[in-house]
Amino acid sequence: MYYQYDSVEQIERKMKLGEVISGFTLKNRNDILMVAYGETHRREFMNCVELKRQNKGVAHKFVGLAYVQFEMTKDKLNFLEEVHVSTTELRMDHYFLMLPLIDNGNFEQHFAVIYNDWDVGDENFNKGLPNLCPSCFRTNGL
């Protein structure tokens, strides 16, 4: 499932600090990542904001995951306000988690997207199976 945050400010804070974020995609639109918020917590109405991936084709790859840069814009077109929860849930296709890349204590708003069916987002923003990387097969010389 997905989590509904209290406010858009809470989502902004999570993006700024590099915390895990939960969201969903809509049917036939896996390229759009939506995050729900609102004080009613999945009762009758909720609000949603789209999180946009940046720099298509560019990613930090680590352990088979592509970490891409995200931002949440304040553009009114990227928000859904006061939508019926039941209607929105019928249109949902996948749930996802955004995992932050924190390297030596530094966070540059790069997240990997992992979907509920274990697919991941790649550097071209496509949903698919993760690619294995050489570090997955390193052996410890001890």
- Type of residue found at 49: V
Judged by average pLDDT, the poorest of 68-72, 82-86, 121-125, 129-133 is 129-133
Tell whether 142 is covered by a domain.
no
Mean pLDDT to the nearest integer, 42-62? 88
- What is the pLDDT confidence band of residue 82, given thresholds at 50, 70 and 90? confident
What DSSP line would sit under 48-116, residue for residue? EEEEEE-STT--EEETTEEEEEEE----GGGEEEEEEHHHHHHHEEEEEEEEEEEETTEEEEEEEEEET
What's this model's pTM, rounded to 2 decimal places? 0.84
Structure tokens, 136: 């997955």
CB 120, CB 128: distance < 8 Å: yes
Tell whether 113 is covered by a domain.
yes
Residue 105, burial from CB neighbour count under 10 angstroms (0-12, 13-18, 19+): exposed
Domain count of the fold of the chain: 1
Handedness of CA 124, 29, 92, 85 (dihedral sign): positive
- What is the pLDDT confidence band of residue 132, given thresholds at 50, 70 and 90? low
Q: Burial letters for 12-22: b for 16+ Cβ neighbours within 10 Å, e otherwise?
A: eebbeebbebb
Tell whether 77 is covered by a domain.
yes
The Cα 29–Cα 52 span in angstroms is: 13
Residue 96 belongs to what domain range? 4-137
Mean pLDDT to the nearest integer, 33-53? 85
CB 27, CB 60: distance < 8 Å: no
